[in-house]
Chains A and B, each alone.
Chain A
Amino acid sequence: MSERLTTTTHGDAPLSAAHHPDARASALWATEEDDELIGRTMTINRPLADLFAFVREPANVLLLLGDALEDLRGESLTVDEEGSSAVVWHTAPGEEPRASGRIELRPAPAGRGTEVTVTVATEARGAIARMIGKLRQDDPRLQSRRALRRFKQLMETGEIATSEPGAAAPRA
């Protein structure tokens, strides 16, 4: 097993993009060497303050995780603000699964809006659990990506895209 990376020393990439990140170096509540670290960034064409008003609500933090950690419920989540541009959250000590994360906002360059980075550290799942998670689509990386995409759609267009055809009575 390769040594885990605690910081990307020879580059500017985020730790979550490393082959083998050491989640304990992510300033989240990760305590074990094999804790997993995932991260995903999207640019949303809205002012930072608008997006911060949304993400600082604990219920919305859960929304942004999608079904990634389906056993989490609002009451077992602690959400703290970091200044006026980030929130960090963690599950209560003793709760299963152990998880924590950060939602970070930064102004995007060139008037593109706001960059939103969702980082999640979780207890390691075994290889088989990971595979099953992917098949069942409750893989945290996939779920948080989908949730972030829906958040972007909502903030930019006022809607969440769906290809549901809707239903109407047969027209003449």
Chain B
Amino acid sequence: MRALTWHGKHDVRVETVPDPGIVNPRDAIIRITSTAICGSDLHLYDHYIPTMKAGDVLGHEFMGEVVEVGRGNRKLKVGDRVVVPFVIACGQCFFCQKQQYAACDNSNPAEKADLSELTYGYAMTGAFGYAHLTGGYAGGQAEYARVPFSDVGPIVVPDGIDDDRVLFLSDILPTGWMAAVNCDIEPGDCIAVWGCGPVGLFAIQSALHLGARRVIAIDHHPHRLDLAKGLGADVVNFEEVKVREALVEMTGGIGPDACIDAVGLESHGFTFDARLDHAKAAVKLATDRVHALRQVLLACRKGGRVSIPGVYGGMADKFPLGALMEKGLTIKSGQTHVQRYTKELLDLIQQGRLDTTFLISHRMPLEDAAKGYAMFLEHQNEVTKVVLKPGLSTDSTATRH
């Protein structure tokens, strides 16, 4: 089959690799019909995440048709159309029983789990296409994928609903939703969201749906700010204004009640601390660039809530711990417990109350995936989300939504 494989910084290639097969009884094999490039894939593309190996297949936002089912799976049938959550959850461990599916104890292979246990204190869950820290599972930017514990994760979607409307149930829609849920929104709340990429946009959409009185969105790409405005947010361009001062003024001097960091470890910024972060990361003195998170912690009102869906992996320098403690902030974060939210979100999509298609800027054949990565990295204003279609002819022009 054809698949997008990683070979180093800014070096991804669509190659022919062996087709996957059933290994464990609860596996299923999915023929992939749509698959997207995630902002966190760019951390792999930029080689920020360790434990990658040449030839690894990327991709963790995918859906398609079940073509093979292991003998231990009593839920899925060949022919079912499914969206696959990016985290792999067994359904039976302590964490899955608490619906903390992104903390599953049984999906990271024992020989790979050591890596994250050493780094974080306990082993991470397994996930698709995201380095050997998460198990080294082949990802879904491919024609086929092996899906473990396929009786727990994959969401069956009915025919008659377009791929583009449900694909993001795999990751970014529940990620934005969980980010908003983690704000513990109260009546009258103003939520500030840093980052108007797909996760930030879904977080804005979710926060308004969950009852936020007002959302203020922060970014510097004009097109992304327009998308945020279209959802109903007020917008702040950090290249033009001082963000913290703007937020004080826009919230009657109190500050936002809850703040969402949808930026993550490759934070951009033009201030001294941001430039220092870049410099340190370039020579490996630091791992994560936390300019946005510093701003979040300083901007949030006293006694407020901070929600961190943005991906971080290592250590941060100059972390305003004093601000966190002295202002009494509550922090909630984590990889998304996708399976916890998918039914509710699918219902909202089917009722027409949540639209996910507005942020797709490009659709292209899987064969053009390398170009898709380069575009997503270099033209973040015009390119908001790239959806890859295996089987689409390379004669098709990349379309703009």
Contact = CB atoms under 8 A, between A and B. Distances in A.
A, B in one complex: yes
Contact of B20 (A146, A152, A168): A168
A159 B110 CA distance: 12
Contacts of B106: 152-153, 156-157, 161
Contacts of B112: 163
B29 interface: yes
A152 B105 contact: yes
Given A146-B114, A156-B106, A171 B18 contact: no
Interface residues of B, number: 44
Contact of B135 (A43, A152, A163, A168): A163
Interface string B9-48: 0000000001111111111010100000000000000000
Contact of B23 (A150, A158, A166): A166
A161 B148 CA distance: 8
B105 A168 contact: no
Interface stretch (B91-99, B190-198, B290-298, B309-317): B91-99
A145 interface: yes
A13 interface: no
A94 interface: no
Given A158-B25, A161-B135, A170 B126 contact: no
Contacts of B108: 161
Given A163-B109, A164-B23, 20 more contacts: A43-B94, A146-B110, A146-B111, A149-B110, A153-B110, A157-B26, A157-B106, A159-B25, A159-B26, A159-B148, A160-B109, A161-B107, A162-B24, A163-B126, A163-B135, A163-B138, A165-B21, A165-B146, A166-B21, A168-B19
6 nearest A-B pairs in the assembled complex, by CB-CB distance = A166-B21, A168-B21, A149-B110, A146-B110, A166-B23, A159-B24
Interface of B: 1, 18-27, 29, 31, 67-68, 72, 90-94, 97, 105-114, 117, 123, 126, 135-138, 143-144, 146, 148-149
